[in-house]
Amino acid sequence: MGRRARRRALAQLQANTTTTTTTELILVQPLPTDKLTIEICIHCHNYQHRLCWMLSSILQNTGTDLPNIIVNISYAPGNGSPTTEEVCKFFREKGLNIKETLVAKENACNRGKARNMQVKETTSDYMLFADSDLVYDPLFFDDLHKQIKDKLWNIKLVMGADRYSLNDQFCISYFEKDTNVYPCEIPDVASITDKWPVKWIQGRHVAPGFFQLARTSIIKAKGNTYVSRSRDLWRGTYSDRIFRKRLGGRTPIIVKRMYHLNHDRGGPEIQR
């Protein structure tokens, strides 16, 4: 091996060693013992009605050890009836800490690009990537916060949890007959969905796009991005798999119930 080749090899070894050491130091660094900030990242396109149910459940979360919650909603302007802008304004006035991440209209369905923007702008302790059609148990975030501080803070991988996916025909029929005027808060929303028929329970061993929890410092250390390729038009969910791979895999956790308001799988013109 020539002198230049040896220098290049040594420089590469030093670079690799430095990167690995820095990353590992970040990964094992203990968290503060007081309130952590969890940023719930949601992308919304034609799901404004169900988004109101989801935000109602976040607003109605309670407990003795709630984290600081930021709701980061990404969307293309002018979409839906009501628009996502109107939903954000309504729930911000109700007391939720809502950030808005605007994407171009041509990227209205591209969740991967939206999540890239959310990652780059965050200063939270944890990021929870979630779908826009979930309803959380009233103690969901209190319990999650306690678990993180007690035993989950040193997990380096993406954490996944089960959801209760409600019967799709029941949900479709309910929303077709729904008389609520949106945007609105749904009172005792988790109590309503807790009585609806369940189609299946899934997700804990997969960490799919509806629940992917990860420590922000780890995301920053491993590329500061959600996805390196931009192809993610809902059903493919390419970015979810890429994100899990980038962080080294997934690990299951047990959480309070979250309910999936199943929906029509039709075209983008359907208001959900």
Q: What is the DSSP letter of 30?
A: P
Percent with pLDDT over 90 in the chain: 71
Higher pLDDT, 110 or 253: 253
E strand or H helix that includes residue 69: strand 68-75
Give strand ranges (E) for 95-231.
98-102, 126-130, 134-136, 158-160, 163-166, 198-202, 211-215
- Structural domains in the chain plus CATH codes: 35-260 (3.90.550.10)
DSSP 82-124: TTHHHHHHHHHHHT--EEEEE--GGGTT-HHHHHHHHHHH---
Ramachandran angles phi, psi of 201, nearest 5° = -120, 125
* 251 phi/psi in degrees, rounded to 5: -140, 140
Tens of pLDDT, residue by residue over 5-52, are 555 544 544 444 333 334 444 444 666 668 999 999 999 999 999 999
Helix (H) or strand (E) holding 194: none
pLDDT in tens, 173-224: 999 999 999 999 999 999 999 999 999 998 888 888 899 999 999 999 999 9
Q: Locate 182 and state its tokens.
A: 């949106």
Mean residue pLDDT of the chain comes to: 87
Cα dist from 219 to 30, 32, 160, 227, whole Å: 16, 18, 15, 11
> Which residues have C-beta within 8 Å of that of residue 44, sequence separation ≥ 6?
51, 73, 74, 75, 79, 80, 84, 87, 132
